[in-house]
Amino acid sequence: MSSDAAGGQRSSSSSNRARGDAALMPTSSPFTGDGGGAGSPTRVERMLREREHSRRHLFASSDAMDTDGAEPASASAGAFVADGVQSPGCAAPANMEDAGGVAPGHAARPPLAGSRSGFRRLGLRGMKQRLLVVANRLPVSANRRGEDQWSLEISAGGLVSALLGVKDVDAKWIGWAGVNVPDEVGQRALTRALAEKRCIPVFLDEEIVHQYYNGYCNNILWPLFHYLGLPQEDRLATTRNFESQFDAYKRANQMFADVVYQHYQEGDVIWCHDYHLMFLPKCLKDHDINMKVGWFLHTPFPSSEIYRTLPSRLELLRSVLCADLVGFHTYDYARHFVSACTRILGLEGTPEGVEDQGRLTRVAAFPIGIDSDRFKRALELPAVKRHINELTHRFAGRKVMLGVDRLDMIKGIPQKILAFEKFLEENPDWNDKVVLLQIAVPTRTDVPEYQKLTSQVHEIVGRINGRFGTLTAVPIHHLDRSLDFHALCALYAVTDVALVTSLRDGMNLVSYEYVACQGSKKGVLILSEFAGAAQSLGAGAILVNPWNITEVADSIRHALTMPSDEREKRHRHNYAHVTTHTAQDWAETFVCELNDTVAEAQLRTRQVPPGLPSQTAIQQYLRSKNRLLILGFNSTLTEPVESSGRRGGDQIKEMELKLHPDLKGPLKALCEDENTTVIVLSGSDRSVLDENFGEFKMWLAAEHGMFLRPTYGEWMTTMPEHLNMDWVDSVKHVFEYFTERTPRSHFEHRETSFVWNYKYADVEFGRLQARDMLQHLWTGPISNAAVDVVQGSRSVEVRSVGVTKGAAIDRILGEIVHSENMVTPIDYVLCVGHFLGKDEDIYVFFDPEYPSESKVKPEGGSASLDRRPNGRPSNGRSNSRNSQSRTQKAQQVASEKSSSSSHSSTSSDHNWREGSSVLDLKGENYFSCAVGRKRSNARYLLNSSEDVVSFLKELATATAGFQAGNADYMFLDRQ
């Protein structure tokens, strides 16, 4: 992710930021409101310009903004936590990532594009935006001193330092205080005490904590996210309680949400943290869809193949996707999350994030940083200098190597010690010249796996010291405890080589803290490639695979013998990154990105049609005299198929399209209304429509309207004469080839088109195959054929040029008018369908209001079919002459696309334009409706086929009531 890893030293803080780019973010986006015209800035250009402008203002006003109601981290922190290293005054949580809601071992802000426009709009005008930080643990240690007395100590973890340094937000913390307070007196007293620290408690009882925190969070999610897998063998008994643990997890998340509701004010930003609160974004959005919600993960996110083993995988992914912005430490984690959403949920992964029916959840990388100034200031303190002198004399004549870790399986402590043993074996001349100081802070001491790890480490250390030690010195000094902040800074300062050998780590702040304290010594950092910090410090550190003991041993030798000039170059690179990409900068960037994301979502929402006003549509339907209902079939009238997240679980069922069983009654009622004409217009072939609609009195139009028949009549063709179909054999061979080489794909051979569907194939492989197919079709032997290649979300269709629903509807109307001797003008049209962009010309065909220039154009098709000649705005009304003019224009466009004439090939020889003369639509009597949330030419939107069912039921009920003679029917009552 970080461009640091790609090489090249940065010269200044501003150049750092100017060169960065947000993970998964393109230089321009179809969803932005930039306009995209010549001279119009791209999203990144706009954000970088605003970011630099804002930064200049922030620096210029920094002297006037020294205080923001909170003390600096160095002054207010009563204890310091650094990847498990803490002062004795701070009680260690079972999982150190819970200190302040963020693992202190996860750190450093990225060189990522982020607009400061949110802060420029809010902070520089004297206003502070309220920020509600929601984490599992408050950054406070609480100790009860009496019935209504509490003592509090602030814990200066990474997230604490980050938000204390943000000048332009008014931050409040919401979380669990880490203690059980069953009585109301104690709860009220603790709430008052915490309010002084700008903290708000969530009170969890012991059972919830046991099931939610110790159970689901620490026993299920933590191991899985670090690639340790779900409980197995002797731990299988714990999975029997999985359902109860997950229920407790959801209940706990709802309890956090309830507290947020109590303190939320309109305009607040809500920032949720870590795997403990994956269900929280959904709870918040269910309460108020307009809440600004961000979610950040401080651990790795595993690959989709690991994550898919989680039984509750679907609920957690969908809950996180309710957030507006989802953040991770590295691009890899963000990529894994998007991959999980595409492979498990079947959603669309875009360069911006994850899209679900038109709603985009932005996904980006925001590596956290540290408060580097705090460490640099600490090195100037007399107490720290005294520690440095003591350590220097203590280890005089020996090189000092340092490891600082929690005693956890993911930290790779045994691997580190074994590599050091191998180094001593292969380099005996170093035996009395190097010492390894390993600080291992105990955690979860009541868990058998951690007890076993502790015994294993002690055994290895004892063996090595017995083998290579002397009466006066041992090669390894191992401490099973934490150090206070001053002692830790001194230890960082005297260290020659730091060893970070995590087997899997979200970020690991120890590497940043070490670099920040090495301003004079310029030591070497050996860093695991599986730590998130490797993305940012990889160019200056020595990257190793901790599982390769030989490689780590060689890296130790290389670090100890590294020439001073190379050591200085490496340190200079890392030092520049750590001191410019701070925790405060990370927090500002995330909040700004969240504000911008919400603003851009509002722009995207304007391009999505509003919901169908069902009552208005029914009122106008009942008032009209001659109605036309045009309904799509697939994903509109079909029975939904629930695959439960298993890509392809119900593939056979979905390939056999079936009419929704709840629609049979309403459809029959609507079709039997003598004043209503119903057309089912589908891309499916004739046999599918025959099977599903044989019992209804309606018109069926198959293959995008190329074939037509009344239910009780024969199929006729509406295709233009001399339609060139010479391309069929060539396309068939191409489709057969790609179907064979793409497992679980299939294709349909229709009379006028071919459709290749790869919905149930592997997502990534299917896209690659589709890209290859499109390239072959566009450049291959059919490149000059009279065909259109239409790409759907997971399909590729080849059809004759000019074959669209909009081009066919005029000919269909003509046949209907001729067959039924229709005289009464059609004064109401309802057109509902889940159509491809190319077929959305049918919406524009009927629209009495001429579309504006800003109207969204259909994919792969022309712009709107009509333009008012004088450019004047439409008054929303149309007469039959206007309708006929519009129809003629539509036919002209269709005929230009086609390679043949537009004469009918049906048995009758009537004029196809006969249907146009019977159209007499007013703007308020036309309802075009897209099914599925997407940008569309339709006026309105229904989210799913279930919504279509509900609306048609309501319409049929209203019709039945009206026909029964209810003159005062409720819909007419509302005039």
* DSSP letter for each residue of 703-726: GGGTEEEETTS--EE-PPTT---T
Residue 867 confidence (pLDDT) above 50 = no
For the chain, how are helix, strand and coil distributed in percent, rounded to 5? 45, 15, 40
In angstroms, the CA 549 to CA 564 distance is 26
Highest mean pLDDT among 45-49, 441-445, 866-870: 441-445
Residue 304 has a pLDDT of: 93
Task: Give per-residue pLDDT as tens, 476-493.
Answer: 999 999 899 999 999 999
Average pLDDT over residues 251-257: 97
Closest CA to 586 of 352, 268, 272, 327: 327
The answer to whether residues 92 and 86 touch, using CB atoms and an 8 Å cutoff, is yes
- Residue 152 phi/psi, 5-degree rounding, is -125, 145
**Amino acid type, 225:** F
Residue 584 confidence (pLDDT) above 60 = yes
Domains 374-581 and 727-800 share a fold: no
Residue 562 has a pLDDT of: 96
* pLDDT top residue among 238 and 326: 326
| Domain locations along the chain | 129-204+260-365, 374-581, 614-626+633-641+654-679+687-694+817-848+924-958, 727-800
Integer CA distances (angstroms), 931 to 326, 610, 636, 710, 755, in order: 27, 12, 7, 25, 21
Task: Give per-residue pLDDT as tens, 754-797.
Answer: 889 888 888 888 888 988 988 888 887 777 888 888 888 788 98
Q: What is the DSSP track for 648-707?
A: TTTHHHHHS--B-GGGHHHHHHHHT-TTEEEEEE-SS-HHHHHHHHTTSSSEEEEGGGTE
> pLDDT class for 211, splitting at 50, 70, 90?
very high
Q: Which helix (H) or strand (E) holds 360?
A: strand 359-365
Q: Which two tokens stand for residue 496?
A: 């020659």
Residue 21 has a pLDDT of: 35
Task: Give per-residue pLDDT as tens, 135-176.
Answer: 999 988 888 888 888 888 877 665 676 676 666 788 899 999
Closest CA to 265 of 293, 291, 284, 294: 291
* pLDDT top residue among 886 and 585: 585
Residue 101 confidence (pLDDT) above 50 = no
Residue 22 confidence (pLDDT) above 50 = no
Average pLDDT over residues 88-104: 33
Integer CA distances (angstroms), 857 to 864, 894, 935, 938, in order: 7, 16, 9, 11
> pLDDT class for 895, splitting at 50, 70, 90?
very low
Residue 877 has a pLDDT of: 34
Highest mean pLDDT among 54-58, 651-655, 844-848: 844-848
Closest CA to 915 of 836, 802, 829: 829
Sign of the C-alpha dihedral computed for residues 837, 841, 847 and 851 taken in this order: positive
Task: Give per-residue pLDDT as tens, 268-306.
Answer: 999 999 999 999 999 999 999 999 999 999 999 999 999
Residue 714: which residues within 8 A CB-CB, separation 6 or more? none
Q: Which two tokens stand for residue 766?
A: 């299917």
Residue 704 has a pLDDT of: 86
> pLDDT class for 127, splitting at 50, 70, 90?
low
Q: Would you give the distance in Å from CA 78 to the centre of its chain?
A: 37
Task: Give per-residue pLDDT as tens, 433-459.
Answer: 999 999 999 988 888 889 999 999 999
Residue 447: which residues within 8 A CB-CB, separation 6 or more? none
Residue 739 confidence (pLDDT) above 80 = yes
Average pLDDT over residues 541-570: 96
Integer CA distances (angstroms), 5 to 113, 423, 467, 545, in order: 17, 27, 39, 16
Residue 628 has a pLDDT of: 93
Residue 151 has a pLDDT of: 87
- Matching residue, tokens 């440095």: 388
- Matching residue, tokens 């970070």: 500
> pLDDT class for 566, splitting at 50, 70, 90?
very high
CATH superfamily for 374-581 is: Glycogen Phosphorylase B; (3.40.50.2000)
The answer to whether residues 299 and 97 touch, using CB atoms and an 8 Å cutoff, is yes
Residue 96 has a pLDDT of: 34
Residue 861 has a pLDDT of: 35
Look up the CATH number of domain 129-204+260-365.
3.40.50.2000
List beta partners, residue 174: 134, 200
In angstroms, the CA 926 to CA 577 distance is 60
Q: Is 740 strand, coil or helix? A: helix
> pLDDT class for 400, splitting at 50, 70, 90?
very high
> pLDDT class for 747, splitting at 50, 70, 90?
confident
Q: Strands 497-500 and 399-406, how do they pair?
A: parallel
Residue 42 has a pLDDT of: 53
Question: Using N-to-C axis directions, what is the helix angle for 413-426 and 549-560, rounded to 10°?
Answer: 60
Residue 777 has a pLDDT of: 86
User: In the CATH hierarchy, which fold is given to the domain comprising 614-626+633-641+654-679+687-694+817-848+924-958?
Assistant: Rossmann fold (3.40.50)
**Amino acid type, 779:** T
Residue 239 has a pLDDT of: 52
Average pLDDT over residues 623-651: 75
> pLDDT class for 919, splitting at 50, 70, 90?
confident
Burial of 224 (C-beta count, 10 Å sphere; 0-12/13-18/19+): buried
Highest mean pLDDT among 70-84, 327-341, 841-855: 327-341
In angstroms, the CA 832 to CA 16 distance is 51
Residue 853 confidence (pLDDT) above 90 = no
DSSP class of residue 922? Answer: B
> pLDDT class for 641, splitting at 50, 70, 90?
low
Residue 227 confidence (pLDDT) above 90 = yes
Residue 965 confidence (pLDDT) above 80 = no
Lowest mean pLDDT among 318-322, 485-489, 710-714, 846-850: 846-850
- Residue 360 phi/psi, 5-degree rounding, is -105, 125
Residue 477 has a pLDDT of: 96
In angstroms, the CA 950 to CA 945 distance is 9
In angstroms, the CA 707 to CA 909 distance is 16
Average pLDDT over residues 219-226: 93
Residue 785 has a pLDDT of: 81
Q: Would you give the distance in Å from CA 939 to the centre of its chain?
A: 28
Q: What is the pTM of this model?
A: 0.75
The C-alpha angle 249, 254, 258, rounded to 5 degrees, equals 150
Residue 922 has a pLDDT of: 86
Look up the CATH number of domain 727-800.
3.90.1070.10
Looking at every residue in the chain, the average pLDDT score rounds to 78
Average pLDDT over residues 930-945: 85
Q: Which two tokens stand for residue 46?
A: 């706009």
Residue 53 has a pLDDT of: 54
Question: Using N-to-C axis directions, what is the helix angle for 880-897 and 805-820, rounded to 10°?
Answer: 130
What percent of the chain clears pLDDT 90, i.e. is strictly above it? 45
Average pLDDT over residues 898-910: 35
DSSP class of residue 127? Answer: -
In angstroms, the CA 724 to CA 722 distance is 6
Average pLDDT over residues 92-100: 34
Highest mean pLDDT among 116-125, 638-647, 908-917: 638-647
Q: Which two tokens stand for residue 369?
A: 């940083």
Residue 606 has a pLDDT of: 66
